């Protein structure tokens, strides 16, 4: 009886129809509009079965048998419970607000942590790097050399040397060339990976890709060195 009374309300029909339109591609909107026009009138009645059969609704379903009854998606069940009990509705609103506040606090904490780590990493990188930050234009010999590892292709385009060449120059340092890169270089390196993937799909030779990657690295590094956002981390 409670469900039947709830289904007589105009706002209920509007809610159910809107839910179905968002979640049910087989919903019949014309039949829904017909119910919506007459809902709320004293003579209007609507059973769950009639609603389902007429509109092909899926948000509410009826199960026969000893364990049967009228069941609904949780979105609709919450709506019914809120109609029955104002206290329940207030509890839902309060709990939602609490969860959003907790989420905002967590996101704010994560953002501040990431910002702090970025500052620390930037300082570590700039203190560790001893060479010129802006990449040098590659030589003709480098452009014609075939690099077995695509990672080394990016290393040459950005750092001007392969990983092995860097290790020979820095035998006392742990890690690899990228561990001692600046924040700007890491940003450009990430961009270059995407650019290289695009150039590979275009079937450019490795020497052609190296020239273009090197040019992109120089342009992007100059742009980042003048960026206010990057300077803000210093």
Residue 31 or residue 92, greater confidence: 31
Q: How many CB atoms lie within 10 A of CB 178?
A: 16
Residue 98 has pLDDT above 50, yes or no: yes
- Distance from C-alpha of 125 to C-alpha of 231, rounded to nearest angstrom: 14
- The verdict on pTM exceeding 0.85 is no
User: What residues does 70 pair with on adjacent strands?
Assistant: 62
pLDDT of residue 119: 60
Residue 128 has pLDDT above 70, yes or no: no
What is the band of 216 on the pLDDT scale with cuts at 50, 70, 90? Answer: very high
Yes or no: say if 192 and 186 are a contact pair by the CB < 8 Å rule: no
What is the band of 198 on the pLDDT scale with cuts at 50, 70, 90? Answer: confident
For 5, residues 6+ apart whose C-beta sits below 8 A from its C-beta are: none
Pairing of strands 69-72, 60-63: antiparallel
Yes or no: say if 28 and 54 are a contact pair by the CB < 8 Å rule: yes
Strands (E), the chain: 60-63, 69-72
């Amino acid at each position: 009886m409670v469900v039947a009374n709830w289904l007589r309300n105009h706002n209920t029909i509007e809610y159910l129809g809107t839910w179905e339109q968002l979640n049910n591609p087989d919903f019949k909107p014309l039949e829904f509009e017909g119910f919506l026009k007459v809902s709320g009138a004293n003579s209007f009645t609507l059973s769950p079965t009639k609603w389902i059969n007429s509109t092909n609704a899926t948000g509410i379903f009826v199960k026969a048998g000893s364990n049967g009854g009228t069941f609904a998606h949780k979105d609709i069940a919450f709506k019914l419970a809120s109609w029955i009990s104002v206290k329940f509705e207030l509890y839902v609103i309060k709990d939602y607000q609490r969860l959003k506040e907790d989420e905002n606090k967590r996101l704010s904490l994560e953002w501040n942590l990431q910002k702090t780590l970025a500052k620390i990493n930037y300082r570590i990188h700039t203190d560790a790097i001893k060479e010129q930050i802006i990449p040098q234009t590659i030589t003709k010999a480098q452009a014609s050399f075939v690099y077995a590892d695509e990672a080394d292709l990016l290393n040459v385009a950005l750092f001007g040397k392969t990983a092995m060449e860097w290790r020979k120059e820095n035998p006392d340092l742990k890690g690899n060339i990228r561990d001692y890169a600046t924040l700007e270089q890491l940003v450009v390196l990430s961009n270059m990976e995407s650019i290289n993937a695009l150039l590979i799909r275009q079937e450019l030779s490795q020497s052609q890709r190296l020239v273009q990657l090197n040019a992109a690295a120089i342009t992007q590094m100059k742009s980042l060195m003048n960026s206010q956002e990057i300077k803000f981390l210093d």
